[in-house]
Amino acid sequence: MALLTILKFPHPILRAKAKPVTDFGPELAGLVADMADTMYDAPGVGLAANQIGVARQILIYDPEPDKEKRAYQVVINPKITIAEGEEMGEEGCLSVREYCTEVKRAWKIVVEAQLADGLPVVELDPDRFRQMLINVLGNAADAMTTGGTLRVTTRQAAGGSTVVLDVCDDGIGIDPSIRDRVFDPFVSTKRDGVGLGLVNARAVIESHGGTIELFPTEPKGTCARMTMPATTRHG
């Protein structure tokens, strides 16, 4: 763990325009991991690179911070392409401690960003993994019956020994009555499903030495997290 210093207002770099990230190597992965350690230690729900003295377009966030689960998302070089509606909500900032205020935000946004590069190599059966991932993406898309945003993020974890792939939607979520049984045969999250998609997904992931879990996201939706062991080589 490496805890970074969070700069406080009115430090000038907090007002500086962040530059796009161009180097997606191991140094970036290390910075993101350190930012996550710092955010959870603070504790907070989000942290931008400016706040730790790096004027680059990097943001991490976790609406329900949990040091054990570490379900944070990483957004690099974000660009808001769609903003709909308005809502008011109370917000705080780790750079302005002991102060919260009502902030107007878009009710819904669509963000373009980049996946992490320079990740460790994961050895896998490309055909089986591709089909499994298509099924997981299809489940996420089907859950958004009235539209929504499907987010796919990658990052390395555990000091670079694993690669994490998250597929998150803002759909209807998992029925609480079957949440503990979603990986059991013939238990489906879809009304017309046969209940074998997630069973097969877990079989594929576990055959590669990895794990898969599903958990709810806030304010709604579901995230499928696939964690795979990395080799010693980098891509």
Residue whose C-alpha is closest to residue 231's, from 120, 118, 154, 116: 120
User: How far is CA 37 from each of CA 42, 45, 122, 158, 191, rounded to the nearest angstrom?
Assistant: 9, 12, 24, 12, 40
234 vs 150: CA distance, rounded Å: 27
Rounded mean pLDDT of the chain?
83
Of 45-49, 139-143, 160-164, give the lowest mean pLDDT range.
Answer: 139-143
In the predicted structure, residue 58 carries a pLDDT above the cut 70: yes
76 within 8 A of 62, measured Cβ to Cβ? no
Give 153-190 pLDDT, tens digit per residue.
888 887 778 999 998 888 888 777 777 777 777 666 55
Mean pLDDT for the stretch of residues 115-125: 79
pLDDT in tens, 199-233: 888 999 999 999 999 998 888 889 999 999 988 65
Give the pLDDT confidence score for residue 104 in this predicted structure. Answer: 85
**Which tokens sit at 167?**
């597929």
* CA angle (209, 211, 215) in 5-degree steps: 175
Confidence of residue 194 (pLDDT cuts 50, 70, 90): very low
Give all domains of the chain, ordered by start, each with its CATH number.
12-112 (3.90.45.10), 119-229 (3.30.565.10)
